[in-house]
Structure 1
């Protein structure tokens, strides 16, 4: 890796490396190929492990698993996923102040690979250390690799820019689609830990691509935009060291007194995941540097944030609640073709690749006819669809009563409805986040958007823990579905009020 630059680079250097004629990637800078492959393999490792996570947690020891109750396994998954998105916020800060995006992604990917390798060790303590490492590394990588794609196009009006991001996100979904088919099959059919080892191999391949293709990346990706001073750095390290030491001492006392259980991890992390978004918004709303217009926009944004949290509360249960349902209550064959339950995790990326261009075209088509729904209506539609998906799950759960295994088509429909809801809400949420961001918090707002996922997953963890075995029931699906439906209708009903808060943003 080249040394970190802490001073602004010469604008002449901002032309992406490898962009000379004859050295392009589908007409784009060669660096896009490097980032495409890096992200594809990282997503391969992430989604492959995720497809196995709950199944391994709840599998009995006789079958090589950890033997947790289904509700506890689902809650562990929810908290883990929440931490991945929570850590994207400090991941962006670390890049801005310490390492720059390029080195931060390398360090994050290395930590992810080590985490997957720890999961491959058949020791419970090693397994949970590995989960923590993957969450930490994902936070570092997720917050910065998309930024590096933008660096390949220093001219913000470059007509290739949107296409470059489209190609990049295709890499995400290719990795996510292939992962359950490969890692899920090996983990469920051969050995859990061999599956986790394959996830480590996937991340290693991504790192190799990143290192050897690094010469094609933009020099801007090595710049530390706001380098931290020595005094401030020492103060940060002292505070971090203090809280880390306090946590070690606390958990050592809990363990030595014989009181330790997994709940001592689940509940503190859940509370952290719920409190941090509240504290972040409280700080912003108290900030006297923001104008009245900016404060109004942030008030409008809170509506979208809460709505998104409700959406992700349900959506992210695809890897927990729906995975348990797939394994315990769903048939594993269709038209005479047998497959492991982890394969259901490939449906969402498959649907995204098929439907994303259609939805994008639909918004343009409606806009030309001046019928394009407002942001609030699109959010409301996404919430209604995610509520509908759990309505379908209520029917599937009823069909599975008495120990019957239902057709896989039930889950295929559920994932289809959820994916359409995601395409309605998620891209619009990313867009409105950038539009409503106050200038002072422009670089932090994407991390704040990710906190909606954290909050939603933490609410899911609370429900899973409180409901116990009933978390997989028609009642649980009904409660959450109704909550999403009410949230969706509320956003639509109060859209004019929200529109007023948004000011000049439409």
Structure 2
């Protein structure tokens, strides 16, 4: 548990009483920094083991086929982002951000400890708990960072978020090195239990340090009325009852399999963004300019979905390639395949300041690429990464073990693509959002991750044993390159739809 490091003891505007600060920021930032670091440690540590455990057949794994294991992983990742939408809504209408994060952290911790139980039913229950808890926590902890400052114009605000996001990458970097090693070298379930301990440390830090958080985080901004609550409970009860009856009948008849959960969730993850955008497009309260901007935004959304479809396979198909087809020795020193999962956060910590400087440097010279061009570059990079994976898979044909440099290069290319697209996507979402949907659009942006991961699950289930083959990587890589080239060719049309946003 971290202490509230004090580098500046002067009283800052908006700092808690007592004058102590965390790198010149409110002491509550230390609480949120450590909570998020440990939560990411647990999340990425478990994720580094997930597909390896499901496909392992020799040391106590679930011995699943690669296609099913990677599809489960994709759907699980999709649900984490999908559930961030109701997670934010629950904080706004029921509990407030502070309580919602505490509940979410508790559910995540329970989920990890369920994974540590050597029972298949507990495994899937654990995944469900982690997805649900992550949705509650992820949607609100960043909001609480903003609550620590005196409004959007507080000069420390951007720096505070920078420190906070460093916690994310520190946790993500350390997790595969620690949890991955224990899970692969000692015992899978002990590794999952370590993830639970990590979340317990984060939750303990959060509860002990919550007195330093802003009072704004306790506010329920739009309390639900008794009538609305009753109607909601009725509808939820009806849907839950229908699901229990349907799946109960499948279990009773002996027809139930994991596919009965994976396929419906995959289809729902693709359908929900379509429904959301259809509803927005039919909203008569929006001006013609708003409708035009939404048409432009859909381009970015679809491109982002294609990007995340490939990018999020770092923990699935790339993880399987690392374990099965990569030489895991360097100069006679052997390391676990899960360690490759630490490359992305390492690259982000090294390259994010470079990209931040680069955009400013180009802007001063009037050469900063437009948002559309940056998206096209990101998509071209992610497509190229799978072309490299195609070559790596070809090099591994015949059971050969390839050099670790293949994956090192692939993760570097993907990180460059992420830094080109992801931060810009967050920015353009806020710029193109109609005033009526200003608060909801960030959640809609994360639906691109849901849609992309669910498309990946459908591809993996559809291709079956071909998942992870040379042409599996080739088809997706070429599709992303074509989409990136199309966005580049039509960039002027998209820019026109964006109106006064550049």
TM-score by length of 2: 0.96
Deviation by residue 1:100-131 (Cα, 9 ceiling, x = unmatched) = 11111111111000100110110000110110
Q: CA deviation at 1:17?
A: 5.1
Are residue 38 (structure 1) and residue 35 (structure 2) matched?
A: yes
Aligned residue for 1:213? 209
Q: What residue number does 1:455 align with?
A: 451
- Structure 1 gap ranges (5+): 1-13
Would you say the 8 A contact 1:74–1:321 is kept in 2?
yes
One of 257, 267, 284 as aligned partner of 1:261: 257
Whether 2:333 is the aligned partner of 1:333: answer no
Paired residues for 1:446-485 under 5 Å: 446-485=442-481
Determine which of 248, 260, 263 is the counterpart of 1:252. 248
In 1, the alpha carbon distance for the partners of 2:50 and 2:369 equals 38
Give the CA deviation at 1:300: 0.7
**CA distance in 2: counterparts of 1:347 and 1:263, whole angstroms:** 32
Q: Secondary structure at the match of 2:96?
A: helix
Are the counterparts in 2 of residues 19 and 30 from structure 1 also a CA contact under 8 Å? no
Alignment of 1:57-456 (within 5 A): 57-60=54-57, 62-456=58-452
**Displacement, 1:16?**
4.2
- 1:250-282 CA-to-partner distances (Å, cap 9, x unmatched) read 111001101111100110100110110000001
Bigger shift: residues 461-470 or 299-308: 461-470
Structure 2 counterpart SS, 1:249: helix
TM-score, normalization by structure 1: 0.96
Partner of 2:6 in structure 1?
none
Change (3 A) 1:413 1:290: same
Could you tell me how far apart the structure 2 residues matched to 1:335 and 1:346 are?
20
* Superposed displacement of residue 503, structure 1: 1.3
CA distance in 2, matches of 1:19, 1:311: 45
Give, in whole Å, the separation in 2 of the partners of 1:284 and 1:185. 47
Aligned to 1:4: none
Residues 19, 29 of structure 1: 8 Å contact kept:
no
Quote how far apart the aligned CAs of 1:18 are: 2.1
The correspondence for 1:18, drawn from 2, 16, 19, is 16
RMSD of aligned alpha carbons? 1.1
* Contact map agreement 2:15 2:25 (CA 8 A) in 1: no
In 1: Cα distance, 2:486 partner to 2:143 partner: 34
Q: Is 2:15–2:21's contact at 8 Å kept on the other side of the alignment?
A: no
In structure 2, C-alpha distance between the alignment counterparts of 1:490 and 1:424, rounded to whole Å: 17
The alpha carbon displacement at 1:388 in A equals 0.7
Distance 2:243 2:65 in 1: 26
- How far the C-alpha of 1:20 sits from its partner, in A, is 5.0
Shift of 1:335: 2.5
1:88–1:142 contact (8 Å) kept in structure 2: yes
The answer to whether the 8 Å contact 1:16/1:216 transfers is: no
What's 1:10 paired with?
none
Structure 1 contact 15–152 (Cα < 8 Å) conserved: no
* CA–CA distance in structure 1, aligned partners of residues 221 and 435 of structure 2: 16
- Partners of 2:294 and 2:38 lie apart in 1 by 36
Separation in structure 2 between the aligned mates of residue 419 and residue 304 of structure 1, nearest angstrom:
19
DSSP-derived class of the 1:213 partner:
helix
Deviation at 1:336, TM superposition (A): 2.3
In the TM superposition, what whole-angstrom CA distance separates every residue of 1:422-447 from its partner, at most 9, and x where no partner exists?
00000000011111111111111111
| Count of equivalent residues | 491
**Comparing 72-81 with 433-442, which one deviates more in the overlay?**
433-442
Tell me how far apart the structure 1 counterparts of residues 14 and 124 of structure 2 sit (CA, whole Å): 40
